[in-house]
Structure 1
Amino acid sequence: MQNPNINILKTEVLSDNWYTLNKVTFTVRKKDGTIETQSREAYDRGNGAVILLYNLSSGNVILTRQFRLPTYINGNTTGMMIEACAGLLDNDQPEECIKRETEEETGYKISRVEKILEAYMSPGSVTEILHFFIAEYSDDMKITDGGGLEEEGENIEVLELPFEKALQMIDSGEIRDAKTIMLLQHLRIKHIL
């Protein structure tokens, strides 16, 4: 059901190079009943999925490290980010997407995942909904070295870390990616590891 207090008047494409940046002009009925016209930019990159792999017997988790230009521009001196495995849906269902991304990025072939939540990660400017998953892994599920797809320009390092070390890396600032922090905290709150 659409919000009766919002009326979209016009959508202009500002950029359609990597993903789509739109300028949306709309009216909004405020609490006092007045109607105001506003314009906002919204970046549409599609929806995505993210997963945290964990191993109950070893107490380890699988994370990735890769270069992220926006963080480099905003003061991350190396541009490298430690993150949970993630990717865009690309017209797949979230579960299918995250299984594919897990194999491409980490080298682990998983069959069972548990969806824990959906969240908007930057609702003031990005349309993306992110589907969050967790899954147990074991050494026998490793079928390749991972690292991502060369044709997509991916150069991903796979990290296997003790869960407690990963939590310490949040405190030290080594892990600053929101989706990864949320997944690690989920494992902690649910006492999974």
Structure 2
Amino acid sequence: MKYIIKDEKIVFDDHYKMVKATVTYDTFNGNQINTKRLAFERGNSVAIILFEKETQSILLTNQFRYPSCKNHDGWLLEIPAGSLEENEQPEDCIKREVMEELGYKVANPILINTFYTSPGASTERIFLYYAEVSQNDKSEKGGGNSEENEDIQLVKTPISEIVDTISKVKDAKTILALQWFLLQNLAA
């Protein structure tokens, strides 16, 4: 099956972009559809589920998220994450983000999966990683990038509380990562 993208143009350009295009694509019954579509160009991101060995805890962030205020959820519990900069490798980005947000050095992140956050509306893909850290890997304060007006709190969640935590989390990538962690430990 094939598709053609034509007449693609930016219709909104600020911190993020909105792109509009005319798209023609094959249908499952052999016909074609010709339509207009919008895409939210957010860029790609990284995220990581971190396991601290000594405390047997998952390291999460708690931070303010303006878009979630629309549903009366200002602060969200999340795994560390961030946006890829131009020409940056995902593994380098996740190391930078963990240091900025939590102050931990990550040595060997393992790629779990790459997935779209909302494929019907956004071009964003997330590179999801896993890594184990030690308390000795905390070498900086963390708390976020002050130039980006971030204020991030470190939350250590014991693995014995993951099931209860999942029911309170509102962030999809975090739910997915915590469920992945549980499945890995059930299989072990």
Name the TM-score, length of structure 1 as normaliser.
0.90
Partner of 1:188: 182
| Distance in 2 (alpha carbons) for counterparts of 1:97 and 1:179 | 17
Provide, for residues 8-33 of structure 1, a one-character-per-residue CA deviation record: whole Å limited to 9, x for no partner. 12112111101111011111232333
| Distance in 2 (alpha carbons) for counterparts of 1:123 and 1:41 | 11
Q: CA deviation at 1:36?
A: 2.4
Tell me the number of residue pairs that the alignment of Structure 1 and Structure 2 aligns.
Answer: 186
Structural mapping, 1:88-167, within 5 Å = 88-91=83-86, 92-167=88-163
Aligned residues: percent identity?
A: 35
Which piece of structure 1 moves more, 59-68 or 35-44?
35-44
| Distance in 1 (alpha carbons) for counterparts of 2:129 and 2:73 | 28
| Distance in 1 (alpha carbons) for counterparts of 2:26 and 2:180 | 38
Partner of 1:18: 15
SS of 1:190 mapped into structure 2: helix
| Distance in 2 (alpha carbons) for counterparts of 1:133 and 1:36 | 37
Name the TM-score, length of structure 2 as normaliser.
0.93
Structural mapping, 1:5-44, within 5 Å = 5-44=2-41
State the one-letter code of the partner of 2:8. T
- List gaps (5 residues or longer) in structure 2: none
Partner of 1:45: 42
Provide, for residues 3-59 of structure 1, a one-character-per-residue CA deviation record: whole Å limited to 9, x for no partner. 6x2111211211110111101111123233333211111011111110011023321
State the one-letter code of the partner of 1:88. S
- List gaps (5 residues or longer) in structure 1: none
SS of 2:161 mapped into structure 1: helix
| Distance in 1 (alpha carbons) for counterparts of 2:28 and 2:165 | 44
State the one-letter code of the partner of 1:184. L
Provide, for residues 122-152 of structure 1, a one-character-per-residue CA deviation record: whole Å limited to 9, x for no partner. 1111101111111111111111221111101
